[in-house]
Amino acid sequence: MNAVRGKAEWLDAYLAQLATQRKLSPHTLDAYGRDLRALLELSGNTPWTALAHNEVRRYTAKLHAGGLDPRSIARKLSSWRGFFNWLSGETTLDANPLDGIRAPKRAKTLPKALSVDDAVRLVAPAQHQQGAAEPEQLCNRAMFELLYSSGLRVSELTSLDTHYCKAENGQPASLGWLDMASFEVIVTGKGSKMRKVPVGKAALVALTAWLGVRPPAADGSAALFLSTRGTRISPRVLQLRLKAHALATEIPANVHPHVLRHSFASHVLQSSGDLRAVQEMLGHSSITSTQVYTALDFQHLAHVYDQAHPRAKLK
């Protein structure tokens, strides 16, 4: 018990140092305290100076086996590492037992993609629509078709201009623009990297219809998609319009713009199997970011197998 009590006193001293010298908030101190008390419980009577590297690895494995998520384990390891860094200046400590220990890798969650049927139903003209479409409806359809046709990020789509414009008259140069003659859009993605992405026929038809009624922008810019006030449409307004349209279309999913980007990538990969082409169209700097759609594609194939193969489910 004396060893445990002595260990607890070291923890109290460290937390007091964090409070007085680093001026951490009470909330942050509580989090450090919880993490350090967990280490105190796991290590039992083992003195801090005798705690070995392999023992800390065992504690990490125990937390993981107990269902603690990797993010929380990483936070605990960070708290423990800071404590031992401080302790090394207060006692004789040969090495920090946390050196080289990392939290388990977080499982990559698969992106949410619509089925082909739901994606097409979402972006197709509304069947219940009577008479000529209003400008806002035409704008929405062009935006939704283009999101699914080209897999754009919402920021890339809302930054598009009707054509390339150089910086002049107080307006910045275009970050992205539509090139109807070449059937493509040019966009500026992450890291200020520009890329060209093909535009499908259905999206071109929708864009042509919208451009036929698009009013001049209120600020004189060449913004491709406009709000009802004539200003460049914002990502938030696009999100709200897509969500409302998905609810009206009775799509059984939480639909947001990135779902259409995921659907584009998944459906192109299912049809072509060309991972490198999907990487280029999405603007991923690393193929690793695109490979998640391989798992999504396999998930789709496994579902098809379960539904279609006569021996998939034995009765």
Which residue is catalytic, options 232, 245, 261, 267?
Answer: 261
Which residue is catalytic, options 7, 153, 214, 232?
Answer: 153
Query: Which amino acid belongs to residue 177?
Result: W
CA distance 249 to 208: 23
Which residue is catalytic, options 190, 201, 236, 303?
Answer: 190
Q: If you write DSSP's letter for every residue of 209-221 in order, what string do you get?
A: HHHTTPPPPTTS-
Distance of CA 127 to CAs 121, 133, 208, 243, 249, Å? 10, 11, 20, 18, 9
Residue 14 falls in the annotated catalytic set: no
Residue 128 falls in the annotated catalytic set: no
Which residue is catalytic, options 64, 75, 196, 258?
Answer: 258
Distance of CA 123 to CAs 32, 142, 190, 265, 310, Å? 49, 9, 26, 16, 34
Residue 309 falls in the annotated catalytic set: no
Residue 153 falls in the annotated catalytic set: yes
Side-chain half-sphere CA neighbours of 299 within 13 A: 14
C-alpha angle 128/152/230, rounded to 5°? 65
Q: Which of 9-39 are b and which e, b meaning 16 or more Cβ less than 10 Å from the residue's Cβ?
A: ebbeebbeebeeeeebeeeeeeebbebbebb
Catalytic residue numbers read 153, 190, 258, 261, 284, 293
